[in-house]
């Protein structure tokens, strides 16, 4: 078993670059945690500190009740799968998978059993005598996974393991990695910049930016209740739309969002958070899928604009709408027959709106 806990952890590289800033994170035993963020945000550095490949500059890193700041990698009971797979080209698949166990002087019979079990599980038993150069990308990825599985580690670390695979294979490997986690009953920490990968795999997602954790939560929490515009924009396809405008009083005790001719009714849960803030300028967030082109909306829920672009994406289509000086993108049904230049009316699901502070970019409602 392994629980991993970062307390006020910082990583400052030798050149002075501060890559991870004051990280506080508890990864529970058997949890699947995904570190998500753009290139350079400190995901791999965080993973490498867990692996022991990078030293913690400041703060405390614990596995269960043990401080591991200075524990060498080979004593940490972790196995890592890299983006590059890092297979030995001159060794067979069998020997690639067996190598870590051979180095640890595990008996030959035990190695054979573990290698064949892992190969069966990953459906590469027929490739055990092959060399990596004769394998497809997906098969190499399985060998890299096999090498980690046979170690039966307390912690399984993966650094963008699927990014070299084609789109279809990525999706099927996601399902297999999820099943692997279920079967192995061990702690998984997975690094990716791919929001879909994070949403499908994680028990909890840690969103990072410039070395700083932005939000930690279940995929639902991260998607439905983003704490700032960075998190809101990082997840969602097409990305969330923003409109800057003002909070104004509506009928009765209600509030509305107003910008020029547009008035959107704000639901009770948002009004409650914005009480006494009439006149405040805010940034409204509308997710691409939170509109309906068919529903006849009440005034106060209608967004009117001009069609800029229509991009079919198979199951539905992306609609580019010119709204004043802004271009907004929505996901609408494939049967909507609109062409560039048409006037278009969309019903906004106001219950799903987001409201952010203009300066801090923090959510005002979650
Ligand atoms: P990517 O997805 O591109 O791998 P990442 O989020 O995993 O990005 P890291 O590899 O953790 O990012 O790097 C975080 C920052 O630290 C980057 O700006 C990187 O240039 C810097 N960095 C990484 N390794 C070193 C090093 N050895 N010395 C100095 N700076 C480093």
User: What is the rounded distance in angstroms from the CA atom of residue 50 to the CA atom of residue 65?
Assistant: 15
Q: What is the pLDDT of residue 1?
A: 64
Q: What are the E-state strand segments in 231-342?
A: 241-249, 255-259, 262-266, 281-286, 291-292, 302-312, 316-323, 326-333
Give residue 263's Cα distance to chain centre.
33
Q: What confidence tens digit (pLDDT) does each residue in 240-283 have? A: 999 999 999 998 889 999 999 999 999 999 999 998 899 999 99
User: What is the rounded distance in angstroms from the CA atom of residue 130 to the CA atom of residue 111?
Assistant: 18
User: What is the rounded distance in angstroms from the CA atom of residue 194 to the CA atom of residue 208?
Assistant: 13
Q: What is the pLDDT of residue 334?
A: 86
User: What is the rounded distance in angstroms from the CA atom of residue 280 to the CA atom of residue 184?
Assistant: 52
Residue 363 beta carbon below 6 angstroms from any ligand 1 atom: no
Choose one of 14, 18, 42, 163 to mutate for the ligand 1 pocket test, by most ligand atoms within 8 angstroms of C-beta: 42
Give the DSSP letter of residue 316. Answer: E
Residue 39 beta carbon below 6 angstroms from any ligand 1 atom: yes
Give residue 212's Cα distance to chain centre.
15
Nearest CA to ligand 1 atom 26: 13
User: What is the rounded distance in angstroms from the CA atom of residue 141 to the CA atom of residue 35?
Assistant: 20
Point out the ligand 1 atom lying closest to the alpha carbon of residue 42: 11
Neighbouring-strand partners of residue 281: 246
Each of the 366 residues of the chain gets a pLDDT tens digit; together they read: 699 999 999 999 999 999 999 999 999 999 999 999 999 999 999 999 999 999 999 999 999 999 999 999 989 999 999 887 889 999 999 999 999 899 888 999 999 999 999 999 888 999 999 999 999 888 898 899 999 989 989 999 999 988 877 888 788 889 889 998 998 899 999 999 999 999 999 999 999 999 999 999 999 999 999 999 999 999 999 999 999 999 999 988 899 999 999 999 999 999 999 988 999 999 999 999 999 988 887 888 999 999 999 999 888 999 999 999 999 999 999 887 788 999 999 999 999 999 999 999 999 999
Point out the ligand 1 atom lying closest to the alpha carbon of residue 15: 29
Burial class (CB in 10 A: 0-12, 13-18, 19+), 209: middle
The encoded tokens of residue 182 equal 């279920």
- For the chain, helix (H) and strand (E) counts, in that order, are 9, 20
All residues at 6 or more sequence positions from 328 whose CB lies less than 8 Å from its CB, including other chains = 241, 243, 286, 303, 305, 320, 321
26 SS3 class: strand
Q: What angle do CA 67, 106, 188 make, to 5 degrees?
A: 45
Task: Evaluate the CA torsion angle 183, 184, 186, 188 in order and state its sign.
Answer: negative
Residue 133 beta carbon below 6 angstroms from any ligand 1 atom: no
Distance 207 CA to ligand 1 centre (A): 16
Reported pTM: 0.93
Which of 142, 184, 147, 149 is CA-nearest to residue 164?
142
Residue 15 beta carbon below 6 angstroms from any ligand 1 atom: yes
The encoded tokens of residue 115 equal 């290698």
The encoded tokens of residue 175 equal 């399902």
Q: What is the pLDDT of residue 335?
A: 81
Nearest CA to ligand 1 atom 1: 39
Which spans in 93-240 are helix H?
A: 93-103, 108-121, 137-149, 167-184, 195-201, 219-224, 229-234
Distance 11 CA to ligand 1 centre (A): 10
């Amino acid at each position: 078993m392994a629980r991993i806990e970062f307390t006020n952890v910082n990583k400052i590289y030798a050149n002075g670059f501060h890559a991870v800033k004051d990280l506080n994170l508890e990864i529970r035993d058997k949890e699947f945690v995904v570190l998500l963020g753009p290139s350079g945000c400190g995901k791999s550095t965080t993973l490498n500190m867990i692996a022991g490949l990078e030293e913690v500059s400041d703060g405390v890193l614990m596995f269960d009740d043990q401080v591991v700041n200075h524990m060498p990698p080979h004593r940490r009971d972790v196995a890592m799968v890299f983006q590059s797979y890092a297979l030995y080209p001159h060794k067979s698949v069998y020997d690639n998978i067996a190598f870590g166990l051979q180095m640890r002087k595990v008996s030959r019979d035990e190695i054979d059993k573990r290698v064949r079990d892992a190969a069966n599980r990953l459906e590469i038993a027929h490739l055990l005598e092959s060399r990596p150069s004769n394998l497809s990308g997906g098969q190499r990825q399985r060998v890299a996974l096999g090498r980690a599985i046979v170690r039966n580690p307390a912690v399984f670390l993966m650094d963008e393991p699927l990014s070299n695979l084609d789109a279809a294979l990525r999706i099927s490997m996601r399902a297999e990695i999820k099943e692997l986690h279920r079967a192995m009953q061990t702690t998984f920490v997975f690094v990716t910049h791919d929001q879909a990968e994070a949403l499908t795999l994680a028990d909890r997602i840690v969103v990072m930016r410039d070395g700083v954790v932005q939000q930690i939560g279940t995929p639902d929490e991260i998607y439905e209740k983003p704490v700032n515009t960075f998190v809101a924009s990082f997840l969602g396809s097409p990305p969330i739309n923003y409109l800057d405008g003002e909070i104004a009083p509506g009928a009765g005790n209600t509030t509305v969002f107003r910008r020029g001719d547009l008035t959107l009714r704000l639901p009770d849960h948002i009004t409650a958070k914005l009480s006494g803030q009439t006149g405040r300028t805010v940034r409204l967030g509308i997710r691409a899928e939170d509109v309906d082109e068919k529903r006849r909306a009440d005034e106060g829920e209608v967004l009117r604009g001009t069609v800029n672009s229509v991009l079919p994406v198979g199951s539905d289509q992306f609609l580019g709408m010119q709204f004043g000086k802004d271009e907004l993108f929505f996901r609408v049904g494939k049967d909507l027959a609109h062409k560039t230049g048409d006037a278009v009316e969309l019903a906004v699901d106001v219950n799903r709106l987001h409201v952010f502070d203009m300066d801090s970019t923090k959510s005002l409602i979650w």
